[in-house]
Amino acid sequence: MAVNDSVNILNSAYLAVEYIDSFLPDNPLQQPFKNAWNYMLDNYTKFQIATWGSLIVHEVSYFLLCVPGFIFQFIPYMQKYKIQQDKPETWEKQWKCFKTLLFNHFFIQLPLICGTYYFTEYFNIPYGWEEMPRWYVLVAQCFGCAVIEDAWHYFLHRLLHHKRIYKYIHKVHHEFVSPFGMQAEYAHPLETLILGTGFFIGIVVFCNHVVLLWAWVICRLMETIDVHSGYDVPLNPLHLVPFYAGARFHDFHHMNFIGNYASTFTWWDRIFGTDSQFIAYQEKEKKKQCITKK
């Protein structure tokens, strides 16, 4: 009975969103996107799309999303939004980070990306325009992927902080006490594999079109680069996501090497109390601000 009720609720929600969508104006970008998608299908093989297309989506998205945070360091006005203002970015750190990223992207992640085509073939994942899910289904699927990845990340990330293994793997990611956006994927190769596994679980569960692979890549990069940006910028649209952790939440983890283990949401840290030090820190900061205003 409970399962049937849940299915009925989901079906009702789907119909409600579909009804609202029917009143929305046509997306002016839909036709150009359709033309570009069909051009891609007509001129490239599935292997090329799944492999090189996925690599391009990842690389272009990653470094484009890093651009705002990179530019902020040169804008004096933005420094008031920097969380650790006493630890500015340096060219030395950024160059070291960039070199490690290139190694991880092309020698660790690219071999994994090469398996994308075989994954889509084994599970008969479609590539065609007509089979592409509607935008609201894609949004819901990406959210589902984020929930799954967040759970995986919390428990495995917390395990990597265990004193017996921390110095061998996760310590690499914590070389930078004050994080910056490009550092999001700066990690030991084993960490890239261990924590990166959480990214693929959602794909296995929800994927019904190759476009979800790319949409989820962009969403995940958007989130992880934002929380590593080092800047708590107001009017950040990601703060509209329920229970979103944000840059200040994760920045505290880099400052203290403990607590706030989740990647995207705050509920796991709240359930297990691993955000207690962060909450106490926030209270202290609020008291300081009140004293300063007086």
Residue with tokens 């969508």: 21
Asked if 33 and 190 count as a contact pair (C-beta separation under 8 A), the reply is no
Q: Is residue 33 part of a domain?
A: no
Q: Is residue 254 part of a domain?
A: no
Domain that holds residue 59: 49-75+90-232
Q: Is residue 185 part of a domain?
A: yes
Q: Is residue 291 part of a domain?
A: no
Distance from C-alpha of 77 to C-alpha of 54, rounded to nearest angstrom = 36
Q: Is residue 101 part of a domain?
A: yes
Q: pTM of the predicted model, to two decimals?
A: 0.90
pLDDT in tens, the chain (294 residues): 444 554 455 455 556 666 566 666 667 778 999 999 999 999 999 999 999 999 999 999 999 999 999 999 999 999 999 999 999 889 999 999 999 999 999 999 999 999 999 999 999 999 999 999 998 899 999 999 999 999 999 999 999 999 999 999 999 999 999 999 999 999 999 999 999 999 999 999 999 999 999 999 999 999 999 999 999 999 899 999 999 999 999 999 999 998 999 999 999 999 999 999 999 988 887 777 666 655
Q: Is residue 281 part of a domain?
A: no
Closest by CA position to 83, among listed 219, 293, 259, 281: 281
Distance from C-alpha of 21 to C-alpha of 220, rounded to nearest angstrom = 25
Q: Is residue 180 part of a domain?
A: yes
Distance from C-alpha of 231 to C-alpha of 46, rounded to nearest angstrom = 39
Count of domains observed in the chain: 1
